[in-house]
Amino acid sequence: MARVVLVTGVSRYLGGKLARLLASHPDVERVVGVDVIPPPEDLGHAEFVRADIRNPVIAKVIKAAAVDTVVHMNVIATPVGAGGRSAMKEINVIGTMQLLAACQRAPSIRQLVVKSSAMVYGVSPKDPAMFTEDMEAIRLPRSGFAKDSVEVEGYVRGFARRRPDVDVTMLRFANILGPGIDTPLSRYLSLPVVPTVMGFDGRLQLTHEDDALDAVQVATFGHAPGTYNVSGDGVLMLSQAIARAGRVNLPLPTPVASVTRDVVRRFGFIDFTSEQIAYFKYGRGVDTSLIKERLGFVPRYSTRATFDEFLKAHPLGRVMPWDAPDEPAPVSTIGGASS
């Protein structure tokens, strides 16, 4: 079946790459990419339509192209580049509502794939070590991208109830990192001196950007709707990541850490929410066995390999006087301790 795919957020890094990849897929007849600004890079065989998902124009685009698959990539993690937090919230929440409203009216729609985030699980010291898809947040996120993701998921579930004929897949990604992508985490880890919270050390899980793109494609072409966690295998401690990057770890007592966060935020370099501080303190793990089992998706890069790829592509100039350790990437087991 030749498919017509609508991809939102194509002017951002992952969205653009995904539109190019989908356009070269043999089963896809046409890819329509939408965003408010023209994509910085060529979309290949994909078409670009300048449209804002925050207004009803999007319904016309869907109707005109007889779109059957919508891939919603336009849930964004950082207000830097979006024009501030309120604009970001509007893109994420109002944008999703408008998009879903348009989809609900479009009889041609058969499938919806939404990029969500593992941040919907929140962060707290009472969290289980690994979250499976059926678990709920112990402490619901209250700010920023994490809160947006929770709201987006809520609207998507609402849509799924109202249009039971549409296959809905949500992918909850652990932090996406890699050679090309620019995220709050990549900026944070690029600081020469990395401030951390004294006495705490979070477990980080990373998804390689290529794995993230693969996961979206697997979800688009596989026939197993549902909600899935996506992450590279294994975890990396925050302090370990800083050490591997050859950066200086600067542990700050909790009150100093929040002041530092405000300063860093004020200068607009990295937007840290209180969620992110909590994440660096306690970390989070998600169990990825469901997507492995149902969609056969096995990430190519472990968390550790993802981080090493990120380091290779960012010749930051090492601050600490040793080389990046280059032992073979470990094979770790999700779903328990390593054997």
Q: Which parts of this chain interact with other proteins (CB under 8 A)?
A: 125-130, 132, 135, 197-201, 203, 234-237, 239-244, 254, 282-283, 285, 320, 322, 324-328, 330, 332-339
| Dihedral angle sign, alpha carbons of residues 237, 117, 170, 34 | negative
Q: How far is the CB of 308 from other proteins (least distance, A)?
A: 11
- 294: helix, strand or coil: helix
Q: Can you tell me which residue has the tokens 């950082």? A: 78
CA distances from 244 to 3, 116, 241 (A): 44, 28, 5
Nearer to other proteins, 4 or 248 (CB): 248
Q: How far is the CB of 55 from other proteins (least distance, A)?
A: 43
Nearer to other proteins, 82 or 130 (CB): 130
Q: How far is the CB of 33 from other proteins (least distance, A)?
A: 37
Nearer to other proteins, 198 or 224 (CB): 198
Nearer to other proteins, 104 or 240 (CB): 240
Closest CA to 235 of 337, 128, 89, 115: 337
Please give the Cα distance from 221 to 26 (Å, whole number). 11
Provide DSSP, 215-248: HHHHHHHSS--EEEEE--SS-EEHHHHHHHTTPE
Q: How far is the CB of 315 from other proteins (least distance, A)?
A: 18
Nearer to other proteins, 58 or 235 (CB): 235
Q: Any idea how long the chain is?
A: 339
Q: How far is the CB of 330 from other proteins (least distance, A)?
A: 6
